[in-house]
Amino acid sequence: MSKMKIEPMKQPDKIVNYWKKEKFVVALIVIFGLSYNITIILGPIYQGKLIDSIAYGNSLSSVIILAITYTLLIGINQLLRYFKRFYIRRFANSTSATMRLMIYNNIMHKSISELDDENTGNLMTRAISDVDLCVEGMRKFTTEVFDTGVLMVTYIISMLVYDVKITILSIIFVPIAMVLAEKLKTVIYKYSKEYRQKSSELADITYDAIENSMIYRVNGMESKNSVKYIEELEDLQDKAIKANILENSMQPIYNVIAMLGIIIVIYLGGTKVINGGWTVGAFSTYVAMFTAMAFKASKAAKLFNSVQKSQVSWKRIKPYLEEYKIKDTSSNIDTSCTLLSVKNLSFSYEDGKGNIIENVNFTGSQGEIIGVTGSIASGKSTLGISLLGLYPYVGSIKIDGKELKDYSEYERSQMISYLGHKPQLLSDTIYNNITLGSKSDITSVLKDVCFDKDLEAMRNGQNTLVGNSGIKLSGGQQARIALARALNNKNKIIILDDPFSAVDMKTEEKIIENLKNNYNDSLIILISHRLAIFNRIDKIILLNDDKTVDYGTHNELIKKSELYSTIYNLQNTEGGNNDEHNKKVSI
């Protein structure tokens, strides 16, 4: 059996294209679906013949031949059914995989501002959970086109061959059941939509309870949350009942309506047998065909409802099914030297909102360390983020003479390494947290961040699992693993946002020495509250509360900024080697 190939597709927001994409599989479904549903009619026909041959006293050998033929036909018919089912499953699996691939690709190409929006993340998680429901609807539809549509046509044609009048009179109840189902579909859609919405909300609440269990527990919120959770569950149950009851409770009613024609069949057919127009076997064949057809007709009514239900899911997925995009991974960057030049840089997170930083000017080159400091919420992290080029900025950020926004996203990722404000550890091993899935020797980088001693105490060494968000590591260990990740992916420019906030002063000093010695082919931008080592770095950017910026060497800032000199002196005089003290007197 050939392995399923998952490939992107064109116009993924048109549902019919999923059938077009699987042309070969759909062709096989058509072949097996048609042959299964056409040959099914041979079952009741041969059953009737068998009854007649017994009733009219045919020879034993001809009865046995008929019985064998009947059994063989049923066997072949079921084999065709097996293949039809197999290829329909294959179509469903492939469609589900394609939809997931297209949604995943959409996530990969969302802008950072869109991803920052919490709602986008939630909506996409829900959309992915809707894929299965939607594909299930498509599978049912494909199945029923044959098992209901083709089969009903086959039965009706055969019944017409047996008797035109009885057929026309007995099937007039079928459209009534269908019209009733059609009328109910809007109501079913409404209830189904409400149920799906509630179900996603409950999934969010569950994720939240798991992710933030510690916070809720220590704040004594768990029992209160449990009560709320039960209320939500009850509401979900209520909506589930409304959504399902109407659809399922209607099934027997559709069934009864479609079956009403049996009265006509028995009356007119029975009369025809008495008058010698039909044999008992022909009558039995006709009754079997009518019963099967009426049963299928009532299923068709249910099919309309289930297609309606899966449309709820399709509508939720559709906005995320956009054309497949491929990230450009060609790179044209200068690896021989590094020159960063920032001129009149201003930045705001949203258009029209006030600037977080204004008119920042500085230059830096390979081998330098530039410190960024300032009071709380003065925009230190924002300056680091703006240098990544992920958001639009005003002014100029040039790397090696070329504007940052003119580099491709991939080129930027190859020029700049970044350690964010939070460690953002994955629930994985130390090794995977640092390499992010690539293969490299991390021994030296672990030494550079002074983690080698910590590692010796860990039984599983680099394969130690860090727990959810690094919970099994101390704050300082988490910070150093995150720093090691940024350094392992060493680029021309390394931006480190507060890497030492959870690290003691001695370790900080050692790491700074390692950075100076082992990363002098990069330009390092070091964002920090702690100024202890700032007298050993090349230049400092001080972001003031009034959005003015002081820029210069340590000695220049000591002279020109009262704020800088006061804090530096406080951090380096009494208690200067004490972390608690430094926190109190930090900028």
Ligand X SMILES: Nc1ncnc2c1ncn2[C@@H]1O[C@H](COP(=O)(O)OP(=O)(O)OP(=O)(O)O)[C@@H](O)[C@H]1O
Contacts to ligand X by CB under 6 A: 116, 349, 356, 374, 376-382
- Compute the distance between CA of residue 148 and CA of residue 324 in angstroms, rounded to an integer: 35
Minimum Å distance from CB 112 to ligand X? 9
133 Cβ neighbours under 8 A, 6+ residues apart:
196, 309, 310, 312, 313
SS3 call for 169: helix
In the complex, the smallest distance separating the C-beta of residue 204 from ligand X, rounded to whole angstroms, is 21
Question: Residue 304 or 391: which CB sits closer to ligand X?
Answer: 391
Compute CA 226 distance to the chain's CA centroid, rounded to the nearest angstrom: 27
Nearer to ligand X, 324 or 349 (CB): 349
Report the residue number, 66 or 486, with the smaller CB distance to ligand X: 486
Distance, CA of 251 to CA of 244 (rounded, Å): 11
Q: List beta partners, residue 342.
A: 362, 397
Query: Which CB atom, from 255 or from 381, has the smaller least distance to ligand X?
Result: 381
With beta carbons less than 8 A apart as the criterion, state whether 221 and 283 touch: no
Name the residue nearer to ligand X (CB basis): 77 or 373. 373
Min separation Cβ 453 and ligand X, Å: 29
What number of other Cβ atoms are within 10 A of residue 47's Cβ? Answer: 18
Smallest gap from residue 121 Cβ to ligand X (A): 14
- Considering the complex, state which of residue 225 and residue 381 has its C-beta at the smaller distance from ligand X: 381
CB of 147 to ligand X, least distance (A): 53
Smallest distance from ligand X to CB 350, Å: 7
Phi, psi of 534 (to 5 degrees): -70, -20
Could you tell me if 426 and 437 are in contact, meaning their C-beta atoms sit under 8 angstroms apart?
no
Q: CA 337 → CA 384, 408, 523, 529, distances in Å?
A: 21, 19, 10, 29
CB 191 within 8 A of CB 239: yes
Q: Which is nearer to ligand X, 199 or 346 (CB)?
A: 346
Q: How far is the CB of 424 from ligand X (least distance, A)?
A: 14
Decide whether 77 or 382 has the Cβ nearer to ligand X: 382
Q: CA–CA separation, 362 vs 360, rounded Å?
A: 7
- Strand partners for 543: 374, 549
Question: For residue 379, which amino acid is it?
Answer: G
Closest contact distance (angstroms) between CB of 346 and ligand X is 13
Q: Are the C-beta atoms of 281 and 50 separated by less than 8 Å?
A: yes
